[in-house]
DNA sequence: GATCATAGTCGTCTTCCTGACGATAAACAC
DNA sequence: GTGTTTATCGTCAGGAAGACGACTATGATC
């Protein structure tokens, strides 16, 4: 308390977004290419400055809408329309994390169903869904053998934290349904878990677990065969938010 | 992206601390009395401005040391000495949360063993351990019947979030040992769970659970009778961080 | 010193949940 | 029709937890 509050040091405050989705059986994150220094040309997480009259969650929702067109959900409402789940992740404030000035970034985590190709400022080449595995391998090579530069700033750490949050949160909550379209099958939900955790799950035990948990899934009455094979029942996300007992993640 | 980054709006960034401990079978939080406007004379969480060259966790550790004398732990090291566990909780940035200016507060959660009476600027009357139940009942009456003013700013919300974090985190981690002295008995650890959760636990099942979880507790060889009754084995916290399967919190 | 209260520790039993896995069902491709 | 794919139901064994009985080792009380 020996510090003079009237001479408080000024900070810039930003929000950065970890937007996750599942595409082609892989957990993917939204990345944008930086158009200016520092880290010009490198991939980064979407984000921007918090405006003077904005709450942090408002700023995150605004950035999410700007980058993806998604509306953020009220977290107290079960996921059901095409909105995304949005929650605060953590705050990153290392004095040297931005070489230009002191920037504190409040990272948020968004979970979205599979979306059409992203657009950043209308330019598709400057935004993409990339498998998180690819974004996180620092200085390696992508699946086509091209060199991969690490994410700008401390965004690799932020992304890793967001992925870990998502991985653990689908264990004990119904959040995995945020990755699904409004109506989905048990198999589609299972493939979400498999993609996020990177494991294979037993379809029979998974089916027993999710259909046996009250409030997790609500049958819509319809069926679909879009996955091939025998038609599957369609479900919507039920009202339950917490899974008890949780879905168990298999050993590593 | 239509916002001009060169004209970023200035923010003040602070850290606020939710410091929890267990005293006399009750979960208590550290509160300090505000000496100046706004909310002069009201109780608040300890905190202060982040300095220009400080990381957020450094600022939190500094504030914790200033208020309690506790050293913060490296979170990767098991809790064993008299240091406290310290982790980031969440960030609060409502534009109107501080009437003076735009302040973003990065709240941290600290868990500490029972400590001697706190001192804030050397003045004991301006800092105290108060049961969280008492601090959270807005505008009610304390246990001596005196009127209780709600905490300053949005600190009631921050405290509630911190308590909820602690309650859920002791389910699946060994963090409850952060509330205990370096050596403790199974019964003392059980009373921590009971105080934090506000429930009664079966001593026999609890004993089986904690002693049967590998790496949770390490016997020191000593015994104590400080609780009365039959002497109990003394333990230290083991290396395990995550409890799997978790400790189950009884239904409400 | 006998008795009592208090806390700690060990066991038992039942119930629930999970993992492993066999079997059947209903679509499509050929 | 046959094979392939995915969905769904059923069975069984093992592990963990809740309920609770029984015994142990202290200090307090009479």
pLDDT tens string, chain B, 252 residues long: the values are 444 555 678 899 999 999 999 999 999 999 999 988 899 999 999 999 999 999 999 999 999 999 888 877 655 544 445 578 999 999 999 999 999 999 999 999 999 999 776 666 656 568 999 999 999 987 666 666 676 779 999 999 999 999 999 999 999 999 999 999 999 999 999 999 999 999 999 999 999 999 999 999 999 999 998 888 999 999 999 999 999 999 999 976
CA distances to A187, A234, B235 from A228, rounded to whole Å, are: 11, 14, 57
> Does residue B22 sit within a domain?
yes
Give the three-state DSSP class for B181: coil
A93 shares a domain with A216: no
At which of B172, B190, B209 does a domain end?
A: B172
DSSP A52-88: TT--HHHHHHHHHHHHH-PPBPPTTSPS-SS-BEEEE
Interchain contact, A121 vs B1, CB within 8 Å: yes
B194 shares a domain with B124: no
A44 shares a domain with A164: yes
Nucleotide nearest to A225 (CA to C1'): C27
B58 touches chain A (CB under 8 A): no
Element (H, E) at A14: strand A12-23
> Which bases of strand C have any atom within 7 Å of the beta carbon of a protein residue?
5-12, 17-23, 25-28
Q: Give A251's pLDDT tier (boundaries 50, 70, 90).
A: confident
Domain count, chain B: 2
Q: Which residues pair with B232 in a beta bridge?
A: B224
B20 shares a domain with B122: yes
> Does residue B104 sit within a domain?
yes
> Does residue B246 sit within a domain?
no
A104 shares a domain with A80: yes
What domain range includes position A193? 175-237
A232 shares a domain with A179: yes
Residue A218 has pLDDT above 50, yes or no: yes
> Does residue A252 sit within a domain?
no
> Does residue A128 sit within a domain?
yes
Distance CA A247, CA B218 (A): 30
At which of B133, B148, B172 does a domain end?
A: B172
Distance CA B231, CA A5 (A): 52
Q: Which residue of B has its CA nearest to A62?
A: B1
- Establish whether the CB of B190 is closer than 7 Å to any nucleic acid atom in strand D: no
Chain A 197-236 residues whose Cβ is under 7 Å from strand D: 203-205, 207-208, 211, 227-233
A45 shares a domain with A135: yes
pTM score above 0.85: yes
Length of chain B: 252
Per-residue pLDDT of A44-70, as tens digits, reads 999 999 999 999 999 999 999 998 888
For A182-193, b/e burial (b = at least 16 CB within 10 A) is eebbbbbbbbbb
Pairing of strands A47-49, A12-23: antiparallel
**Nearest CB to B51: which of A9, A52, A92?**
A9
B49 shares a domain with B15: yes
Q: Which two tokens stand for residue B73?
A: 């732990």
> Does residue A247 sit within a domain?
no
Q: Give A1's pLDDT tier (boundaries 50, 70, 90).
A: very low
CA distances to A187, A247, B92, B192 from A167, rounded to whole Å, are: 18, 11, 25, 29
Distance CA A101, CA A80 (A): 41
Q: What is the CATH number of the domain that holds A215?
A: 1.10.10.10
**Nearest CB to A52: which of B5, B9, B52?**
B9
Distance CA A13, CA B104 (A): 8
A128 shares a domain with A105: yes
Q: Is the N-terminal amide bond of B6 cis, ω within 30° of 0?
A: no
A106 touches chain B (CB under 8 A): yes
C-alpha torsion angle, residues A160, A161, A164, A169 (rounded to 10):
-150
Protein CA at B181 to nucleotide C1' at C3, angstroms? 35
> Does residue A229 sit within a domain?
yes
B198 shares a domain with B96: no
At which of A156, A172, A188 does a domain end?
A: A172
A224 shares a domain with A155: no
Region of residue B89 (phi > 0: left; psi between -120 and 50: alpha; otherwise: beta): alpha
Q: What is the CATH number of the domain that holds B62?
A: 3.90.79.10
Nearest to B160 by CA among B136, B124, B137: B136
Q: Which two tokens stand for residue B88?
A: 């980031």
A13 touches chain B (CB under 8 A): yes
> Does residue A244 sit within a domain?
no
A116 shares a domain with A223: no
CA distances to A101, B66, B209 from B46, rounded to whole Å, are: 27, 10, 36
**Nearest CB to A1: which of B48, B51, B53?**
B48
Interchain contact, A3 vs B51, CB within 8 Å: yes
Chain B 212-251 residues whose Cβ is under 7 Å from strand C: 227-233
């Amino acid at each position: 308390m020996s510090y003079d509050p009237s001479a408080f040091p000024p900070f810039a405050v930003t929000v950065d977004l970890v937007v996750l989705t599942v595409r082609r059986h892989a957990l993917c994150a939204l990345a944008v290419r930086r158009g200016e220094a520092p880290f010009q040309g490198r991939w980064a997480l979407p984000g921007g400055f918090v405006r003077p009259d904005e709450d942090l969650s408002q700023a995150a929702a605004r950035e999410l809408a700007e980058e993806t067109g998604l509306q953020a959900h009220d977290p107290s409402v079960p996921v059901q329309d095409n909105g995304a789940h949005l929650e605060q992740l953590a705050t990153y404030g290392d004095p040297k994390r931005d070489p230009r000035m002191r920037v504190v970034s409040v990272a948020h985590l968004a979970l979205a169903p599979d979306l059409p190709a992203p657009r950043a400022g209308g330019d598709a080449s400057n935004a993409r869904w990339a498998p998180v595995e690819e974004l996180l391998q620092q200085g390696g090579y992508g699946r086509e053998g091209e060199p991969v530069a690490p994410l700008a700033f401390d965004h690799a750490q932020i992304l890793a934290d967001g992925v870990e949050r998502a991985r653990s949160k689908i264990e004990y909550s119904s959040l995995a349904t945020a990755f699904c379209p409004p109506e989905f099958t048990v198999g589609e939900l299972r493939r979400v878990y498999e993609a996020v955790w990177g494991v294979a799950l037993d379809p029979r035990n998974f089916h027993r677990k999710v259909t046996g948990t009250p409030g997790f899934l609500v049958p819509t009455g319809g069926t679909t065969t879009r996955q091939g094979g025998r038609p599957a029942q369609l479900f919507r996300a039920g009202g339950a938010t917490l899974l008890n007992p949780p879905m168990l993640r298999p050993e590593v």
